[in-house]
Copies of this chain bind each other. A is one copy, B any other.
Amino acid sequence: MTTANYQKHHCPIAQAMAELGDQWTLLIVRDALLAGRSRFSEFQESLGISRNLLTLRLTKLCDAGIFERVPIAGSKRHAYVPTQKCRALRVVILAMGEWAEKWANDPHIHHLDVLEKTTGQPVTVGFFRREDGTIVEPDAVDIVRHGNQKPDHGGKDLS
């Protein structure tokens, strides 16, 4: 399935995969959001990704509006700064992190704490919530595509 094919399906998951679905992209985002890295060489050293591929990935991420190339004051070099679109991936990253903490079988896996900036108080990641803010248990939700009440269908396309 090419990027063109993803687009054709108009499925949000497929679209997300078209922008994020390779080995490196989400690790670059992680480095930016969780470790504050922003320079080419910081990503390169941290990840061990090959330099030409990192160039490609950062270019794609900038084109997608996930990072912004920002000139560094008093220098002609620049930083790759996460945009709001990038910061919006925080929930995705944390969902993956919590999943791995629970399900990956690495006994030495690290724990990611989420803290409120102003107070430093721990915050929990919740996943399903009603409009009034109350919590809904994961098993108590259905997922339906727009205009279709059945969660599973017999047709070929998903969205």
Interface positions of A (Cβ within 8 A of B) = 1, 5, 7, 10-24, 26-27, 30-31, 33-36, 45-49, 65, 85, 87-104, 106, 108-118, 120-131, 133-136, 138-146, 149, 151-153, 156-159
Contact = CB atoms under 8 A, between A and B. Distances in A.
Contact of A136 (B19, B46, B116, B131): B116
- The prevalent SS among residues of A at the interface is mixed
B13 A146 contact: no
Given A130-B121, A138-B90, A145 B113 contact: yes
Chain copies in the assembled complex: 2
Nearest to A88: B99
B15 A104 contact: yes
Given A117-B141, A158-B30, A96 B92 contact: yes
A22 B21 CA distance: 6
A140 B45 CA distance: 29
B138 A1 contact: no
Contacts of A18: 104
Nearest to A91: B126
A146 to B, nearest CB: 4
